[in-house]
Amino acid sequence: MTIRLAFLIALMGFTGGLMVASFAGFREFIPGLLMGAWVTVQITVLAAILAVVAAMAAGLAKLSRIRVLRWIANIYVEIFRGTSALVQLFWLYFVLPHFGISLSAMTVAVVGLGLNVGAYGAEVVRGSIQAVAKGQYEAATALNMSRSLTMRRIIIPQAVAAMLPPWGNLFIELLKATALVSLITITDLTFRAYQLNQVTLRTVEIFTLVLVVYLALSLVITIGMRALERRVGADFGTGRVL
């Protein structure tokens, strides 16, 4: 999907949503849903930042020569990949207070979803680094570069180009997973829609608008990641991203 096509789809979807709201006489729903969408965007952005940091740390740790670091990274990845994201949110929000640790709902949403996506991202990081040609390591060794310097200046920059496409998918999955935070009292887009539906019983109109908003947000992520892929691909001579 090209950036132009993605933008056209997003524009059509958003316009269609506005038409539904206008023709059905439910324009009063849009402000409330947009307020919920803003909360969803905040959670997505903050959780995405945490996910990237956690994924980079865990991915590099899995490749470390230090056994303890590999064990810690593997335990983290297996726990967060092997259990439900919803259960993780419930555990952080409802169980941690029994151990004297109380976190706000917003903090739980960001930490829970960020660490969950970061666990999947760790494998992306590890695989992308291992996919870099062995000749790059040999060239760095010939230049008498240390392992850490080799990773920082040669390997990771090239691995980033391979990481971007799967990270785009993970960010979209993260966006969709934010709907779960409505179950821990956060008034995100899904929660706002539920509240409006309970009051008005206009299910078709409300959830059609919600569908359009989620689609528009996911296309924004797609467009942004495609643009980043093009930039990184141009920097490393990997060609145009279609």
Distance, in Å, from the CA atom of 128 to the CA atom of 204, rounded to the nearest integer, reads 43
C-alpha to C-alpha distances, 208 to 6, 170, 179, nearest whole angstrom: 20, 24, 15
The least confident of 1-10, 68-77, 116-125, 218-227 is 1-10
CA atoms within 13 A on the CB side of 237: 0
Q: Is the pLDDT of residue 191 over 50?
A: yes
- Tell me the pLDDT tens digit for each residue of 14-57: 555 555 555 555 567 778 888 999 999 999 999 999 999 999 99
89 HSE (CA, 13 A, CB side): 22
DSSP 88-109: HHHIIIIIGGGGT----HHHHH
CATH entry 2.60.40.10 includes domain 3-235: no
Domain ranges of the chain: 3-235
Give pLDDT tens digits for 66-75: 899 999 999 9
